Structure 1
């Protein structure tokens, strides 16, 4: 197959075209061994997962399943070489907040309180505020084993009309298969390790002319759809004996008859406590 507009050069094969695209992408893919049943990401010398599945295929060192990860730091560093992107990254530091209105995440009290803490965040003009979003989905109908979980990052520094455009979002990983309860954090180990470095030491971007830009990155939000949010909170399910990872209170089945409920609990109840509805 030949296109005359390209001086009769043949088109790349699908394999070669994919290789060329990957070679030009700013981040190099890293692969990690995972449990084929989605219960954990293997690290170290483990050969058996918690559910009893083998890390490698029989009589070989070939992983039973792998998950690909695009390093966050490499994806954050590459856009610095674009003048337009650098200007958008400075939007957070240069914007003027209106005390009488809230039009962006940086106008909220959570961000304001964070900036007033003893250990301040986002002090440099190129420091990056990140939001992590996780979403599970079924790419095929009537599929019981074809679920996927996509992990992506939004750069909050960008103007609100730019940050959610596809070309400005960072895709970190697509995890194949259904994740077991609490497994999301185990699969996030490479990301959490990177964030620890980016928040503490940061990264330095070197330019061909000798210029250097140092920046830190801080995760300010983690969210997703309801199943993903439950997984982020390591919530089991509503009838679990111990609902959350940090909860050591054993749940007790209770039947609330019509007309005998406690009503809607106020914010004041949760802040100072109210023993009537047992909000301590």
Structure 2
């Protein structure tokens, strides 16, 4: 990503110099409390938090520019403010999708006007006169630049290697690195484990109603990643929760979520096999950063969507599989015989009070 010639004397990639300059630019001559960048970020936060329209933001910026002292550095419009965030690497890619979740109009399908599977039109309106609007959109937030930025700050860089350099390795489980799964992964892929800067990720997915109205049946799905290299008191904090996919509604993608995971999976495969050249601020040199998903975090229905296992019906348990003990009641299935998990000499195994039978199975 960067060569040594791309690093200035301060150890910072040259392409970031403009952003640093932006962060040090005064909001107006003599303003010491807030920089241009910090003011714009807070203003955009207010817009999102209070659900202000784009037009309202344009009007507010116009009023501020006319009210602030001469020499102010405010953007002229909401579009210019958003463009600054894109330069920070906070942009995203809009990928049209089939209305019925069949395919993404991406890569080999990017030029198609109808779904190759079901034949449904890609567009809401296609009369040739109005602007074409996709039936459904996937918003994809690239992961690699955000992981690279974690190593461009000395504070976050130290946190990313905490699991190797500062973690106490004893018989207590305080961090995912203490788990058997983490250690098995290290044994299976020693080359990955040899560099503590390589990133282990957890993936979480769930649906939510963006309108906050329970009477409106609208489900938008988010896929979020978090680096597990971080200390346990940081890895679940908001600044390190990285939104990767935002799947528009109104319906849940269900088991077709794998269609929407394609861009993320392709990026992760590249990160795992080839890696990404990344600047390390502590050494002022580049290294090849690799990343891999170790765990998923989700509720049981979302587990079924991500894994492809049916979490309903007679064999709903993905661990017991065919050994799932289920019984059909009048209007639902009931999963029985949990006493088999008790020790063989437990008194409850011999009791007939539950269903009139003793429990002898293992």
Q: Tell me the TM-score normalised to structure 2 length.
A: 0.62
Alignment check: 8 A CA contact 1:35 1:49 kept:
no
Q: Greater share of helix residues, 1 or 2?
A: 2
> How many Å apart are 1:38 and its aligned residue?
4.0
Distance in structure 1 (CA, Å) of the matches to 2:188 and 2:98: 41
2:253 matched to which residue of 1? 180
1:264 aligns with 2:346: no
Residue in structure 2 matching 1:150, options 211, 215, 222: 222
Summarize the alignment of residues 119-198 of structure 1 with structure 2, pairs less than 5 Å apart. 121-140=192-211, 141=213, 142-144=215-217, 146-177=218-249, 178-198=251-271
2:31 matched to which residue of 1? none
2:115 matched to which residue of 1? 48
Change (3 A) 1:161 1:121: same
Distance in structure 2 (CA, Å) of the matches to 1:192 and 1:11: 37
1:233 matched to which residue of 2? 307
1:18 aligns with 2:92: no
> How many Å apart are 1:243 and its aligned residue?
6.5
- Number of residue pairs matched by the alignment: 264
Which has the higher Rg, Structure 1 or Structure 2? Answer: 2
Distance in structure 1 (CA, Å) of the matches to 2:127 and 2:312: 42
> How many Å apart are 1:126 and its aligned residue?
1.0
Distance in structure 2 (CA, Å) of the matches to 1:6 and 1:34: 47
2:295 matched to which residue of 1? 221
Uncovered stretches (5+) of structure 2, i.e. residues with no partner: 1-62, 331-335, 344-359
Give me the CA root mean square deviation: 3.6
1:272 matched to which residue of 2? none
| Secondary structure of 1:121 counterpart | helix
Alignment check: 8 A CA contact 1:35 1:64 kept:
yes
Distance in structure 2 (CA, Å) of the matches to 1:265 and 1:233: 26
| Secondary structure of 1:161 counterpart | coil
Q: Please, which moves more after superposition, 221-230 or 111-120?
A: 111-120
Alignment check: 8 A CA contact 2:148 2:279 kept:
no
> How many Å apart are 1:97 and its aligned residue?
3.7
Alignment check: 8 A CA contact 2:103 2:115 kept:
no
> How many Å apart are 1:20 and its aligned residue?
2.6
Alignment check: 8 A CA contact 2:136 2:248 kept:
no
> How many Å apart are 1:118 and its aligned residue?
6.0
Distance in structure 1 (CA, Å) of the matches to 2:69 and 2:302: 47
Q: Deviations over 1:53-82 (max 9, x none)?
A: 322343567533221111111221122211
Distance in structure 1 (CA, Å) of the matches to 2:105 and 2:64: 46
> How many Å apart are 1:139 and its aligned residue?
2.2
> How many Å apart are 1:236 and its aligned residue?
4.1
Q: Please, which moves more after superposition, 5-14 or 91-100?
A: 5-14
Change (3 A) 1:265 1:233: farther
| Secondary structure of 1:115 counterpart | helix
Q: Tell me the TM-score normalised to structure 1 length.
A: 0.78
Change (3 A) 1:239 1:40: farther
> How many Å apart are 1:19 and its aligned residue?
2.7
Summarize the alignment of residues 8-157 of structure 1 with structure 2, pairs less than 5 Å apart. 9=72, 12-22=76-86, 24-43=87-106, 44-45=108-109, 47-48=114-115, 50-57=117-124, 58-59=126-127, 63-117=134-188, 121-140=192-211, 141=213, 142-144=215-217, 146-157=218-229
> How many Å apart are 1:105 and its aligned residue?
0.9
